[in-house]
């Protein structure tokens, strides 16, 4: 914190599970709900210092977290099929959100969560 000057930005990765926690990842969903809340309160705390704090809430994204225990192996082949877009997101599809939230262009956005969910759940 002491290193961040006015104009700096903090971006936290939360998740759709913060908004609709499933039965199988209680602990993970707790952390993501906490991160969502943390983002909003920290944004208020940091605003006078000119530091914006925002979050990104991904839906199912095709990352190594999934085949390494994040999903049960039997469920992985259908990963993302239950979203309205019918597929998981790719990390590249969220890059522009992280850029936007870090840039000067987004200077009036703080304490916000931007979703990239494939159409299901989220902020």
Partner 1 sequence: MAKDEPDNARRLLLGGMTTGLAAAATAPALAQGAGQPSSGGASLQNPATKHPKPPFPAQQQPWPGLASRMNPRPDHGESSYRGSGRLAGRKALITGGDSGMGRAAAIAYAREGADVAINYLPVEEPDAREVVQLIRAEGRKAVAIPGDIREEAFCRQLVDRAVRELGGLDILVNNAARQQDGRSSRTSPPMTSTLR
Residue 98 among the catalytic residues? no
CA distance 57 to 21: 13
Count the site residues for partner 1 by CB under 8 A.
60
Which of residues 48 and 82 has its CB atom nearest to partner 1 in the complex? 82
Among 20, 26, 37, 45, binds partner 1 (CB under 8 A): 26
Which residues sit at the interface with partner 1, rule CB under 8 A? 3-5, 7-13, 23-28, 30-32, 35, 56, 58, 61-74, 76-81, 85-96, 98-100, 102-103, 105
């Amino acid at each position: 914190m002491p290193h961040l000057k006015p104009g700096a930005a903090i971006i936290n990765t939360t998740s759709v599970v913060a908004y609709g926690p499933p039965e199988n990842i209680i602990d993970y969903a707790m952390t993501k709900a906490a991160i969502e809340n943390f983002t909003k309160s920290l944004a208020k705390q940091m605003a006078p210092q000119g530091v914006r704090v925002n979050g990104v809430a991904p839906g199912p994204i095709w990352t190594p977290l999934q085949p390494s225990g994040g999903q049960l192996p039997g469920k992985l082949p259908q990963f993302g099929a239950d979203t309205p877009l019918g597929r998981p997101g790719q990390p590249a599809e969220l890059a522009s959100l992280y850029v936007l939230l870090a840039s000067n262009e987004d200077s009036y956005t703080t304490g916000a969560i931007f979703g990239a969910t494939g159409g299901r759940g989220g902020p």
